[in-house]
Structure 1
């Protein structure tokens, strides 16, 4: 136990000195712990400081009568501002040992400690201050009442500053964490909920609210709710004027007009400045004063940046999922909508794809501008009919997609919608189209799969002219899978050099000599059978492989001509078919000329056979390419004349050397009309000074009749079927003998 102070010592608490004055603001208490083994010290200390208010607060006293008791007390009370600690109590260093526990074990570093001792000189003051984190070290005899108050004031100021620094750190940490969370939230509604939640934590108030954005763009100038919480959620996306709450309208308007916070006892509106927009955060609790306003303003600045990011993300999403021309969903947006449709039966039970027929002809014939106007007109008409009940999209250049119910969305409703022409550039334009439908079923699991199946139905409708539409079923998918497998096998066999070019002789009717042949592509299977060209040529065209195959066919024809020349057989012309895909290849003519020159072949021995369908796909472009090839000496033949829809005006412009009569006309020569058609075609060829070739000649009667009508050359089973290269050479050698 420490020595008790003398009676005179106790009078330090009552010395008659003037007390420092402080402004008072009676709010809370300063918690002061008196630690001394002398109960009288507790009494007189508390009595001396009774009624004193420091920094606007009264004093509240706690008591401990030993060093150990003080540690226990502080473990249970974390709000002690000052400890008046005696040094000598249950042991000579009890006070110092307690201080070490308080600092090192309890980690209460903000609490100010005033060390008091009744034994002057017991411990050197400088050493104690250096080794222990204490605020002051006084002997009890030198602490008069006024000096005690002065010491308490100084310690409390220090404690308050430390608490403020600590609170600022905590506040700043909260701001940083809150800002980090809101920066990561891209959805407006959840963003606002997060912002309000973070303010609830920062201000320690239960809050609900809504965030409004005021666009600063003069052309769009409006204020609208981007998101809200709980009772305000129904206001989302409403403009300020639409809100059925006069107080919110008034307070938000004041905030945005004055560009300043609106603080009052009923509610609070915080102003959030931005470069392209201002925002106002309405909170349903009144806040009279913003504690830590600089930090709040920093948080509001971060909210503004995050809001900019959200708006940018929304713009990017709009760009990513919206077709700029029509304003509808694009392909990506439609797939996203279909994914939602597959999970939500309320969206309907059918998906439709509408393909505008011959759209490329509009683009090429009337200009791309007119084509775009036509597509926009189609989109507008679809929107007028279906936008209230269905999801619409432009999923491809000339293909529209719709999701809806079968009662609304069906072939009849779409056909009726386009039964009258569109108004395009002040002209009436009819619309021709095909449709593919996919009904809801349990086997379609993804938007991409659904779109693929609808597309399969659409392709089936395009290939069958009997009706404009088709509904998907499993057999269509099986056929598509078969075609895909065939395309893969064709590519593999072509790469493995399994394809062959056979030759069917062409016979001059006057001399009965072989003057040329048609190169015909053959695809043998492993069992020795042949896959029909009617099957694999469309697959090659659809897969894009036809360009590579076409280049290879030209090379094989040149190689065959050189081999015939090595045998002394010259002037045998080889005709090869070309597809529209090859004409669309911008390098086609250049590659063709290069191939012929690299083999050192007479270009007049190479003849390209084009069909009327190729010509009519893009007449001017095709004619330009043919003229380029003709200038290099390459011959041009019109194949299957009379089976297409070509115009005689284009026929006159073509740089043709020969015209081929389709086998279907030759087979029909037994009828009166068939003979007339063949005679007309031959007569036309003669008028145009073109050599004529008849295909599919199988009988002597057909050959005799064609000779009488003046046909020049025939090709058919009457003389020879298509032959592999070695057999073709033998055939020519025998014919020359």
Structure 2
């Protein structure tokens, strides 16, 4: 038994102890219906009563003797103790009414048993009549005012010693309430069965499958054996003669299963045939004692459904059938639409591959297979760039071509799906779907509108047999694969990545860090620090680079920029942060112009911008607004972009940089030499400065180490660009850079990045 929420269970245990020495007599049961009648068990009103006093038992029995209420005789089960009553509840079947005393031996027997019935036995429909407290009862012996409503007690019954008429009136009201509650509950259950049956039917394809499911669901709905047939006639009959012609059996179950796809006229059971003929002729349902025949008519079909039954259906079942049939008739005419909807529910409309729902089914099936099965996810690299450069029509054509290549190259044992914009999922035998095999499929270029195009993928791969050994479902398997795919997209040098549990922790850490970044940015906790850029000839401060920092408030940092800036880009926060950085850096530069000696103030301020900011149509307008607000002279603001950004979308970048320079803003390429830019593209971009990456500066003084910095500096000078060396830490590096013709340097040799207040003091001390 369930003891949850039973606050008076200790009181009940006390009752058990107090009654342990009582006689454990068998139930005193009396049938008090009409003499000589033996109605079925469900034809009685079963009443359970606790009457410790023999005189009260006799009075109650006499009061109910020979009584019929609401069309049923009464059956009374009398108990003498709480223990007997609880045993009756556990072993004697269902009761419609329980009659309890208010007081017994000075304890709260009645209220305690009420709570026992509702909370322990979980009997919600049975009605309870609680004896009214005697006039001399103390306030402590009276139930609390909200007790009756809290435990759904029908009322306080009159004593059995009073008028039998009053007692029967109390009982009749309680039984009427039971009937109403049971009807409501059964209606709710029936409607739920109708809803679930309809949902199952919507998942069936084709007329035969639909009809077979209809038969099964009707049998379940009416709680009948699945022994019947479904017959169909094409078109609506125009006469009684036509009503019984050209009728075929399209679904059958039980002893009639062998009749499928045969004419109704061949049915061996003449009686069943006659009933179906009658329903078709009369064009109505037949509800008989031994069978039910449903008549369903639509624009295109006439359907008859025969089900064997042992008795006539109850009124509630008839109502449920009417509701069910009203929905079913139109379904036969819309099977094609239903099939299309079902197809769309499990397929991607663009590529006609499966979708996520279908892939989940395939994963579940593969994990039950004894064959070695695998799951690969493919993400098309730089697909967003292709879409932006060539348009969505070309992008869609590429996705369709990839789908067709997979479909034509892999066997039918593989399940293919498009999961999102440019992500494909493949489930199948490990030897077929391993990334090393899938990559080979795309060695040959795709033909996109008569233009050859090569595609590459970030891949994740997991053995489903391994995943199947863990207590996880298909959804979690796919989630793990997506985690691995995200790692593969970041690790461009890896051919594929498989999931490992540590990735979940890393993913959760990144999500939490991204959430905290958003909160701290909104709270104004991010800061800008500045690193000076020094002229290698004069030693003067020529410019500053603004660097974003995320202090933890305790003298340290929450995370470094190379960790949290990518998070800001992935979460879409980078554009908002970038605008703040731009406004703050220009405002601080203006502040330095007023607080430092004129010759010591930096001539320009450099701000890093991301690809997301370049794609933002408001970037040029934001720059213009900041320049005007801070009265920035021409050349005072410099935007720094990475070499990879400049080369990823050269046309878009060139267009934006041209507009930027028209505002008087300088452009510098950061980390130059670490990317894969072509010289023709570089020379075509409107830039003013190259920044030599720190990795090349660090090699100065090593064997052949100077050649890298020398090459970049020579190239920059030939292109007429200014040159800034990053990460300068030694005097030797300064001397070599100066001799090579590099213009400026920044690094720890001169100053670390520092907050504005410290920078102001550093400039003053120089």
Q: TM-score, length-normalised on structure 2? A: 0.60
Residue 438 of structure 2 corresponds to residue 414 of structure 1: yes
CA distance in 2, matches of 1:205, 1:495: 65
Which of 633, 636, 639 is 1:608 aligned to? 639
Q: Give the match for residue 425 of structure 2.
A: 401
8 Å CA contact 1:213–1:225 kept in 2: the answer is no
Residue 560 of structure 2 corresponds to residue 532 of structure 1: yes
How much does 1:709 deviate? 2.5
CA distance in 1, matches of 2:389, 2:70: 89
8 Å CA contact 2:194–2:221 kept in 1: the answer is no
Residue 575 of structure 2 corresponds to residue 547 of structure 1: yes
CA distance in 1, matches of 2:676, 2:248: 59
CA distance in 1, matches of 2:625, 2:704: 45
8 Å CA contact 1:182–1:306 kept in 2: the answer is no
8 Å CA contact 2:716–2:722 kept in 1: the answer is yes
8 Å CA contact 1:347–1:390 kept in 2: the answer is no
CA distance in 2, matches of 1:226, 1:422: 47
Q: Give the match for residue 324 of structure 1.
A: 349
Q: Flag the 1:314–1:666 CA change in 2: closer, same or farther, 3 A.
A: same
Which of 432, 438, 451 is 2:456 aligned to? 432
Q: Give the match for residue 148 of structure 1.
A: none
CA distance in 1, matches of 2:456, 2:690: 32
CA distance in 2, matches of 1:330, 1:215: 37
Q: Give the match for residue 329 of structure 2.
A: 304
8 Å CA contact 1:506–1:715 kept in 2: the answer is yes
Which of 663, 666, 669 is 1:632 aligned to? 663
Q: Give the match for residue 350 of structure 1.
A: 374
CA distance in 1, matches of 2:679, 2:232: 68
Q: Give the match for residue 469 of structure 1.
A: 496
- Write the deviation string for residues 639-685 of structure 1: whole angstroms up to 9, x where unpaired: 12222112333323322122211122222233575434433333332
Secondary structure of 2:742 counterpart: coil
CA distance in 2, matches of 1:224, 1:699: 95
CA distance in 1, matches of 2:226, 2:594: 98
CA distance in 1, matches of 2:504, 2:408: 33
CA distance in 2, matches of 1:668, 1:105: 101
Residue 569 of structure 2 corresponds to residue 556 of structure 1: no
Note the 1:105-504 alignment, pairs <5 A.
185=197, 186-188=199-201, 192-194=212-214, 208-210=228-230, 229-230=253-254, 245=261, 247=263, 274=298, 278=301, 303-307=328-332, 315-335=340-360, 338=363, 344-345=368-369, 349-386=373-410, 388-439=412-463, 440-441=466-467, 442-443=469-470, 445-504=472-531
Q: Flag the 1:317–1:673 CA change in 2: closer, same or farther, 3 A.
A: farther
8 Å CA contact 1:357–1:432 kept in 2: the answer is yes
Q: Flag the 1:510–1:200 CA change in 2: closer, same or farther, 3 A.
A: closer
8 Å CA contact 2:227–2:253 kept in 1: the answer is no
Q: Flag the 1:346–1:615 CA change in 2: closer, same or farther, 3 A.
A: same
8 Å CA contact 1:503–1:722 kept in 2: the answer is yes
Secondary structure of 1:327 counterpart: coil
8 Å CA contact 2:447–2:453 kept in 1: the answer is yes
- Write the deviation string for residues 193-218 of structure 1: whole angstroms up to 9, x where unpaired: 4458869999x9996334679899xx
How much does 1:712 deviate? 1.6
- Write the deviation string for residues 20-74 of structure 1: whole angstroms up to 9, x where unpaired: xxxxxxxxxxxxxxxxxxxxxxxxxxxxxxxxxxxxxxxxxxxxxxxxxxx999x
Residue 729 of structure 2 corresponds to residue 704 of structure 1: no
CA distance in 2, matches of 1:546, 1:675: 36
Q: Give the match for residue 127 of structure 1.
A: none
- Write the deviation string for residues 494-550 of structure 1: whole angstroms up to 9, x where unpaired: 333332211111111232110111111222335423333222222222233322322
How much does 1:184 deviate? 6.5
8 Å CA contact 2:190–2:221 kept in 1: the answer is no
Secondary structure of 2:613 counterpart: helix
Q: Give the match for residue 114 of structure 2.
A: none
How much does 1:358 deviate? 2.7
Greater CA drift, 403-412 or 432-441: 403-412
Secondary structure of 2:698 counterpart: helix
Q: CA RMSD in A?
A: 4.7
- Write the deviation string for residues 478-497 of structure 1: whole angstroms up to 9, x where unpaired: 22222223323333333333
Structure 1 unpaired stretches of 5+: 1-70, 77-103, 108-176, 217-222, 236-242, 252-259, 264-268, 286-294
Q: Flag the 1:543–1:201 CA change in 2: closer, same or farther, 3 A.
A: closer
Residue 709 of structure 2 corresponds to residue 678 of structure 1: yes
8 Å CA contact 1:192–1:211 kept in 2: the answer is no
8 Å CA contact 2:219–2:307 kept in 1: the answer is no
Residue 696 of structure 2 corresponds to residue 665 of structure 1: yes
Q: Number of aligned pairs?
A: 539
Q: Give the match for residue 567 of structure 1.
A: 595
- Write the deviation string for residues 146-205 of structure 1: whole angstroms up to 9, x where unpaired: xxxxxxxxxxxxxxxxxxxxxxxxxxxxxxx99997676332357654458869999x99
Q: Flag the 1:232–1:641 CA change in 2: closer, same or farther, 3 A.
A: farther
How much does 1:397 deviate? 1.2
How much does 1:607 deviate? 1.0
CA distance in 1, matches of 2:248, 2:527: 70
How much does 1:402 deviate? 2.2
Secondary structure of 1:608 counterpart: strand
CA distance in 2, matches of 1:414, 1:213: 50
8 Å CA contact 2:723–2:743 kept in 1: the answer is yes
Structure 2 unpaired stretches of 5+: 1-33, 40-68, 73-188, 205-209, 237-246, 268-278, 283-292, 309-318
CA distance in 2, matches of 1:539, 1:516: 28
Greater CA drift, 425-434 or 550-559: 425-434
Q: Flag the 1:602–1:316 CA change in 2: closer, same or farther, 3 A.
A: farther
- Write the deviation string for residues 235-294 of structure 1: whole angstroms up to 9, x where unpaired: 9xxxxxxx995647999xxxxxxxx9699xxxxx9996645x546558799xxxxxxxxx
CA distance in 2, matches of 1:513, 1:396: 54
CA distance in 2, matches of 1:636, 1:272: 76
* Bigger radius of gyration among the two: 1
Residue 765 of structure 2 corresponds to residue 734 of structure 1: yes
Q: Give the match for residue 678 of structure 2.
A: 647
